[in-house]
């Protein structure tokens, strides 16, 4: 596998993504009942997303603290974030949920933040140097 020396931008983007993902994961896990009513999104969906975000946040936070990481792992994070954005849009247009205006705003805003992190991670990955092994 190819190992890279993570650029400062990649490390910062991973840690920022981890912090936001952890905070939103806790918020959705703990406040799913209240958020469900406000956003018009199923409570179980919010809880499951919260549960998924917590280990993700821990993993990418750990990656962000490392100076060397595997290049395919970094690409997986970027692609996973891009997939999250696509899935967020699909959720809104699928008809599977009936979000309120606040729900639409929440899903769109979080998708834009994830897209921003994916872009920073992509640029940071491109700035990282490959280590000969």
The parts of the chain modelled with pLDDT lower than 50 are none
Amino acid 50: pLDDT: 97
Counting Cα atoms < 13 Å in the Cβ hemisphere of 108 gives: 9
pLDDT value at position 25?
97
Give the predicted TM-score (pTM) of the model: 0.93
Distance from C-alpha of 44 to C-alpha of 61, rounded to nearest angstrom: 26
pLDDT confidence of residue 131: 86
Compute the distance between CA of residue 14 and CA of residue 53 in angstroms, rounded to an integer.
Answer: 14
Task: Specify the pLDDT at position 133.
Answer: 64
Q: What are the CA-CA distances from residue 36 to residues 27, 28, 30, 81, 84 (Å)?
A: 12, 9, 11, 23, 20
For 69-89, the pLDDT digits (tens) are: 999 999 999 999 999 999 999
């Amino acid at each position: 596998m190819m190992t890279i020396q993570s650029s400062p931008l990649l490390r910062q983007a991973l840690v920022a993504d981890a912090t936001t993902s952890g905070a939103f994961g806790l918020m959705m896990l703990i406040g799913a009942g209240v958020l469900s009513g406000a956003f018009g999104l199923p409570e179980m969906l919010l809880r499951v997303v919260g549960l998924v975000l917590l280990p993700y946040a821990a993993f990418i936070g750990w990656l962000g603290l490392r100076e060397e990481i595997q290049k395919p792992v970094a690409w997986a994070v970027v692609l996973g974030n891009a997939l999250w954005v696509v899935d967020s849009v699909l959720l809104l247009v699928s008809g599977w949920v009936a979000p309120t205006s606040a729900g639409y705003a929440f899903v769109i805003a979080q998708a834009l933040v994830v897209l921003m992190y994916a872009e920073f991670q992509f640029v940071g990955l491109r700035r990282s140097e490959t280590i000969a092994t």
